[in-house]
Amino acid sequence: MKSKMIVFAILNGLLLFFAAYGVWGAFWVWQPGAEPPQWAPLFGSQSYLQSVKDRGYNATLVYGFLTYRVDIWINGAQLGVTRFDWTQLSLILLAFFDSWTLIDFLRSRKTVKSPNVKS
């Protein structure tokens, strides 16, 4: 039982970390094959929006199902690319995993409490 609690805590922590990174994270990775060699950013949705606004653009953030888009307004034209949203996926997986764990716990508790059936 103790090992299940440890696994539960670790998976919840990882999923919450990925959810938080998907919103506020910023990470730079080396971009292989680029000439000249350079670093490419991996932004969360809010940090990407902030980086666009820091460059002086008027930008808005729009969420869809498992996607987000940062719309940039330039001379009255709306430009934006839809991106995958890791935060929503992490929260869906977290809800699924926690529900599954709760149902499993309640079932095991119910079988322990039920009296022995004589045949």
Interval 12-47: pLDDT, tens: 999 999 999 999 988 888 888 888 888 988 889 999
Give helix then strand counts, H and E, for the chain.
3, 6
On whether the CB atoms of residues 9 and 21 are closer than 8 A, the answer is no
Q: What are phi and psi of 94, to 5 degrees?
A: -65, -45
Interval 57-74: pLDDT, tens: 999 999 999 999 999 988
One-letter amino acid at 98 equals D
Give the Å distances, CA to CA, from 95 to 11, 43, 79, 89, 91: 12, 24, 33, 10, 6
Burial string for 56-80 (b: 16+ CB within 10 Å, else e) reads: eeebeeeeeeeebbbbbeeeeeeeb
